[in-house]
Amino acid sequence: MATKVFMEALSPTMEEGRLVKWLKNEGDVVKNGETLAEVETDKAIMELVARGDGVLRRRLIAEGTTTAVGTLIGVVAPADENIDALVAGSGTPAPAAPVASPPAATPAPAPTAAAPAPAPVQAAPSAPPAAPAPAAAPANDASLRSSPLARRLAADHGIALGALHGSGPGGRIIKRDVEAAASSTTPPSAAPSAATPVSRVPSPLSGEQYRDVPLTQIRKTIARRLAESIGPVPTFYLTAELDMERVAEMRTAMAELGDAYKVSFNDIVIKAVATALAQHPECNAHWQGDSIRYWNRVHLGMAVAIEDGLITPVIFDAHSKGLSQIAAESRDLAKRARERKLRPEEYTGSTFSISNLGMFGIDQFTAIINPPEAGILAVGGIEAKAVVVGGDVQVRRRMRVTMSCDHRVIDGAAGARFLQTLRRLVENPLLLVY
Amino acid sequence: MPIITYRDALNHALREEMQRDDRVFLMGEEVAVYQGAYKVSKGLLQEFGEMRVVDTPITELGFAGVGVGAAMAGLRPVIEFMTWNFALLALDQVVNAAAKMLYMSGGQYPMPMVFRGPNGAALQLSAQHSQAWESWLAHIPGLKVITPGTPYDAKGLLKAAIRDDNPVVLLEGEMLYNTKGEVPDEDYIVPIGKAEVKREGDHCSLITHGKSVLTSLQVADALAKEGIRVEVVDLRTIRPMDVETIAASVRKTNRAVVLEEGWEVCGVGAQVVDYVQRHCFDHLDAPILRVHQEDVPMPYAKNLERAAKPDVAKTIAAIKQVMYVGT
Amino acid sequence: MAKKKTDLKADSTFGETDAPTRAALLHSMLLQRRFEERCAEAYALGKIGGFCHLYIGQEACGTGAITQLRPDDYVITTYRDHGQALARGITPRAVMAELFGRSDGCARGKGGSMHLFDRNTNFLGGHGIVGGHVPIATGVGFAIKYRGTDQVILCFMGESVVNTGAFHEALNMAALWKLPVVYIIENNRYGMGTALERASAIHDIYQRGAAYDMPRAQVDGQDVLAVRAAVAEAVHRARTQSTPTLLEVRTYRFMGHSMSDAVSGTYRSKQELEEYMKRDPIHVLRAHMEALGEIDDAGMEKLDAEVKAIVQDSWDFADASPEPAVESLWEDVLVETTT
């Protein structure tokens, strides 16, 4: 049985492709799934694979030819089959083929991506107050029988129902089936209790560099709804005014120890932010479209103004570096940033960013998040102000920070809790020693 | 704490409430001189006299109506039906008068009264003496319907019913009168409208009431030996039913079996199932199953009656089914 | 029909009236008459819905009986209760508003025509099940005796009630326990469409009382003074001896059983109706008062105008009264109890 080879849409937006190179000659044996050619799309060079077994009987276009998606460009067939009729109308595009999806995913915790999932997942039961109501689940596949509880647990664990074997009557997927699947694939930190869903936030600062967590229905819906209303990154802002008196005292005390121990306010803020992020991994994350990457390490991007723009060198593992090391690195990175001497690996890979415009006399501002990071902290200047403390008016040095948060990743309460911790660290800086 | 019978618990409740409020009186067949057909009113005639413990002719409709009239005129009657099977004759007074009087009169005539008596099957009493009436009466707005399954609950609920300013239907059980349990001497009430978890468990909720509470505890004991922990939820009140306690239990266990002595169609269990599916949909790992009397009038022969009634074995089978044990 | 008495000791002091009393009786009966006539009109206009049973022709029964009660006595009756309610003193406004289903009705619009209740006048309704209220009357009698007070209760019923089981059970207990109840059968000859002779094995139905050895009598229900005398005696017996009485008051209704029922031509002839209408209770009293020189045509006209004005006022009041708030749907199903 002959298989037609078409110019396929190898990316969703592709309308035509350029055949860069044939990898098989006419007469070569071809197996289903083997690469036939390299095709250049609007974005990159992709592989065109055979969709049947046989012999590559005909190559209908030459290397270097650009042709529309749907054009017949070859035929794979048994060696002895007559294909004259097939190639007679060559050049007429067949109806546009659908996106060539990769071979069916192996049963894994991550559900299939944006395209309609074969294993629909029940909407989560009730949304937290901050989030809009979850969208209704897509129409259930009648052959996938499952108890409501099993559907909900599967959604919480990010397990595709279609990947499960149902041990209930009639193949019904029930709680024990989901639990069995979850305990074999989720990390050891997952709670075994059936009633409570597994925590989505990983244990920080140990083992792996990161852990990908597929999106639950709630997160998907929040993402979709908020993105629709506000633009690509649905952002909200949290401002806090921090008392800097103790930091000022500490910095003065450090300076008295000698030049080697001099640190800037910004260094202390960096240290505090990194420490706070280590305690709030839910803010130390990347939005990845179909999942959220929670980082187990804090790599802080530090925005530096340079002559015609800005660049953000990274202090890697900022959470585990002492103040003096942070001070040394930040000085060095800033200097080399202005000298245009930073290497790419020094200004990529941040998990969170800080931008400080205090030296320009800015009281407070809102910074723009660097995607795929989920948050950025904008630091204003330190200013002496009249402040009411315990009923009395005192003059104290205050600093305002504004956190921009990607609502697809960070909810209001999560951001607020991070700032609470940051405040505690900044206003009690001795905590940074521990 | 004293251990007394369900019968004595009711007796104490009646006595204490009649001492407490002289508007309370007891009326029914054989309640006075005979000391009660089931001896629930033993000793009351001697203590309170014949105006307060009143023997009636066999006139269920008549004396139920007398109770309604007395309540309209400010007394607090306790009307005893020798069995609720006979009360069918009185339903016009219970339903068309007592339940609706407050509403029809625009709030002017409350009905602070209790209709009580044994309900459901005993042993080989045959078709006309064995029916369970909960679902007929629980259907009616304006009534409260209570079904204590233990002596403690019997005393507390009867007291609460007598003090309630609404018409309360109290369904007892001949098979319950001799059962024993701890009952405090002092005054206490069991609130109407509150279920109670009689046994805690996390594998399956067994929701029940009345004499089936005893069956349920036996079921829980038997299954505990197999490592299955059944949570027994005693409804205690059928109307108004304690939906919160039911839902909290099923959310915990993810599965439910409802046990009752009535028939299937439009029985109390059907209402429980509705509440569970509505409030615990996403928590259910299996459909909700019911255990009840077979859909036949109660036969006389001992073996047939046993086959007709719900029992420990049938309940255990249902629980194992919702737990997918053996599948 | 001449007044018949059986087993009762005649006492000429019972039911003696004076001029002011007669005037008050006439006023009450005429008020009921004009009120019921307007009800028929209101029903036809859709202002009154459901069932509406009119008292026209029977005014003497309720008026003669009720007007001599004490305020702390009780009255209970059937669904044909408008006239008795007015005789007892529920205001025409409260009754009409209840019929119109408004919030100022005596049952706040929750009862309607068949369920008039008024705690202020101890008017215990207004009941819809034939015979259902008779055991309730016995129960009120029981409560009176229980308390040791000397109130009485009047229990009105149609003649069909005497065939129900509830009647039998209730009267038996009242006689057995000696309770202060006066059972008054308003025998208007027809239980809906069925003549008495086709429903009851005996026709002098007050004789049903013999089954309970209960004092009993038959009374001309179109003569308000005769009714008054008979009931006075029964009330006295109840109050002083705590003994019930059964009275059969023979009357006639000039309208159909209810507004859905033809006035005549189906189960009773027009001639029969016209014959009975010659003994209109209002005319009977008026004739008596004219003979005593207590009223004339002019006086009658004045009275009629006065009464019509009262009824018109009740109509206007009812029309202006608001419908019950939707929230009241949920009110008074149960009493909130503190225990």
Chain C, residues 214-273, CB within 8 A of chain B, namely none
Same domain? For A163 and A248 the reply is no
Q: Tens of pLDDT along A211-239? A: 788 776 666 766 766 666 556 788 999 99
Long-range contacts of A174-182 (CB under 8 A, 24+ apart): A174/A146, A174/A147, A174/A149, A174/A150, A174/B285, A174/B286, A174/B324, A175/A147, A175/A149, A175/A150, A175/B254, A175/B285, A176/B324, A177/A150, A178/A150, A178/A153, A178/A154, A179/A153, A181/A154, A181/A157, A182/A153, A182/A157
Q: How confident is the model at residue A102 (pLDDT cuts 50, 70, 90)?
A: very low
The separation between CA B315 and the C-alpha centre of its own chain, rounded to angstroms, equals 20
Q: C-alpha dihedral over C100, C105, C108, C111, to 10 degrees?
A: -60
Band (pLDDT 50/70/90 cuts) for residue C230 is: very high
From the list B282, B324, B327, the residue facing A149 with the nearest CB is B282
pLDDT of residue B236: 98
**Helix or strand or coil: residue A334?**
helix
- On the question of pLDDT at B112 being above 70, the answer is yes
Residues A259 and A181 occupy one common structural domain: no
Mutate which: B254, B277, B280, B323, vs A, most A CBs within 10 A:
B254
Final residue in a domain of this structure, among A55, A74, A100:
A100
From the CA atom positions of chain C, what is the Rg in Å?
19
Confidence category of residue A427, pLDDT binned at 50, 70, 90: very high
Q: Is the pLDDT of residue A107 over 90?
A: no
What is the set of domains in chain C, with CATH numbers?
19-311 (3.40.50.970)
A252 and A330 assigned to the same domain:
yes
A421 shares its domain with A308: yes
Q: How confident is the model at residue A125 (pLDDT cuts 50, 70, 90)?
A: very low
Per-residue pLDDT, averaged over B290-317, amounts to 95
Q: State yes or no: pLDDT of B68 exceeds 70.
A: yes
C171 touches chain B (CB under 8 A): no
What count of other Cβ atoms lies within 10 Å of the Cβ of residue A262?
14
Give the pLDDT of residue A202: 44
Q: Let me know whether A148 and A224 are in one domain.
A: no
A209 and A223 belong to one structural domain = no
Contact between A175 and B254 using a beta-carbon 8 Å cutoff: yes
B142 touches chain C (CB under 8 A): yes
**Cβ pair B96:C132 closer than 8 A:** yes
Amino acid C254: pLDDT: 86
Q: Count of alpha carbons within 13 Å of B300, Cβ hemisphere only?
A: 1
Q: Are residues A314 and A297 part of one domain?
A: yes
Is the per-residue pLDDT at A5 higher than 70?
yes
Residues present in chain C in total: 339
Q: What percent of chain C has pLDDT over 90?
A: 81
Is A134 domain-assigned?
yes
CA B81 remoteness from chain centre: 14
Place of tokens 């018949």: C4
User: Domain count of chain A?
Assistant: 3
Q: How confident is the model at residue A90 (pLDDT cuts 50, 70, 90)?
A: low
CATH of the domain at A241: 3.30.559.10
Report if residue A126 sits inside a domain: yes
pLDDT digits (tens, 9 = 90+) for B76-94: 999 999 999 999 999 999 9
**For B21-64, what is each residue's pLDDT tens digit?**
999 999 999 999 999 999 999 999 999 999 999 999 999 999 99
Report if residue A111 sits inside a domain. Answer: no
Active centre residues of B (catalytic): 60, 129
Structure confidence by residue, pLDDT tens digits, C50-99: 999 999 999 999 999 999 899 999 999 999 999 999 999 999 999 999 99
d(CA A4, CA A2): 7
DSSP-based three-state secondary structure for C18: coil
The answer on A225 and A210 residing in a single domain is: no
Q: Would the CB atoms of A122 and B252 count as touching at under 8 Å?
A: no
3-state SS class at A150: helix
Amino acid at C254: F
Domain that holds residue A139: 116-214
Strand partners, B115: B79, B169
A223: helix, coil or strand?
A: helix
pLDDT at residue number A261: 84
Report d(CA B95, CA B239) in Å as an integer: 14
**Chains that contact C by 3+ CB pairs under 8 Å?**
B
A107 is a domain residue: no
Q: Which residues does chain C have within 8 Å of residue B101's beta carbon, measured at their own beta carbons? A: 125
The answer as to whether A209 is a domain residue is yes
Work out the pLDDT band at C11, boundaries 50, 70, 90: very low
Is residue B12 within 8 Å of residue B155, measured between CB atoms? Answer: yes
**For residue range A228-285, what is the model confidence (pLDDT) as tens digits?**
655 678 899 999 999 999 999 999 998 898 888 889 999 999 999 999 999 999 999 9
Average pLDDT, chain B: 97
Return the higher-pLDDT residue of C277 and A93: C277
Please name which of B320, B80, B81, B327 lies closest in space to residue B206, comparing C-alpha atoms.
B320
C121 DSSP 8-state letter: G
Whether the CB-CB separation of A205 and A280 falls below 8 Å is answered with no
Over residues A363-420, the pLDDT tens digits come to 999 998 888 899 999 999 999 999 998 889 999 999 999 999 999 999 999 999 999 9
- With tokens 């009598």, the residue in question is C217
| Within a domain: A379 | yes
Is the pLDDT reported for residue B184 higher than 60?
yes
pLDDT at A106: 39
Is residue A139 domain-shared with residue A124, that is, in the same domain?
yes
* Contact across the interface for B282 and A122, Cβ inside 8 Å: yes
Say which CATH number the domain at A10 has: 2.40.50.100
What is residue A140's predicted lDDT score, i.e. its pLDDT?
44
Residues A52 and A142 placed together within one structural domain of the fold:
no
C-alpha distances in Å from residue A102, one per residue of A10, A49, A73, A118: 11, 11, 21, 14
Average pLDDT over residues C234-246: 97
> Between chain B and chain C, how many beta carbons pairs sit less than 8 Å apart?
155
- C282 at B interface, C-beta within 8 A: no
CA distance B90 to B71: 16
Tell me what ipTM this predicted complex has. Answer: 0.90
pLDDT category at C280 given cuts 50, 70, 90 is: very high
Q: For residue B102, give both structure tokens.
A: 């407050």
pLDDT tens digits, B235-250? 999 999 999 999 999 9
pLDDT of residue A262: 87
pLDDT on residue A188: 43
Q: What pLDDT, on the 0 to 100 scale, is given for residue A265?
A: 92
What residues in C contact B96, CB-CB < 8 Å? 128-129, 132
Beta carbons of B104 and C170 less than 8 Å apart = no
What is the band of C12 on the pLDDT scale with cuts at 50, 70, 90? low
Kindly report which listed range (A103-107, A262-266, C108-112) carries the lowest average pLDDT score: A103-107
C74 touches B: beta carbon within 8 Å: yes
A151: which chain B residues are within 8 Å (Cβ-Cβ)? 282
- Look at A122 and B324 and tell me if their CB atoms are within 8 Å: no
B59 shares contact with chain C (CB less than 8 Å): yes
> Is A128 in the same domain as A32?
no
Short-list B45, B104, B98, B63, CA closest to C141: B63
In a domain, A136, yes or no: yes
Q: Are residues A189 and A319 in the same domain?
A: no
User: How many other C-beta atoms are found inside a 10 Å radius of the C-beta of residue B18?
Assistant: 21
Six-digit token string for B240: 């108004």
More reliable by pLDDT, A80 or A229:
A80
What pLDDT sits at residue C236? 96
**Which chain A positions have a beta carbon within 8 Å of B286's beta carbon?**
147, 168, 174
Separation CA C34–CA C96 (nearest Å): 12
Give chain B positions within 8 Å (CB) of A122: 282
Give the angle subtended at the CA of C64 by the CAs of C58 and C67, to the nearest 5°: 125
Residue A290: alpha-carbon gap to chain centroid: 8
Q: Is residue A75 part of a domain?
A: yes
Residue B212 has pLDDT above 80, yes or no: yes
Which of A98-112, B203-217, C272-286 has the lowest average pLDDT?
A98-112
Domain boundary among A188, A214, A240: A214
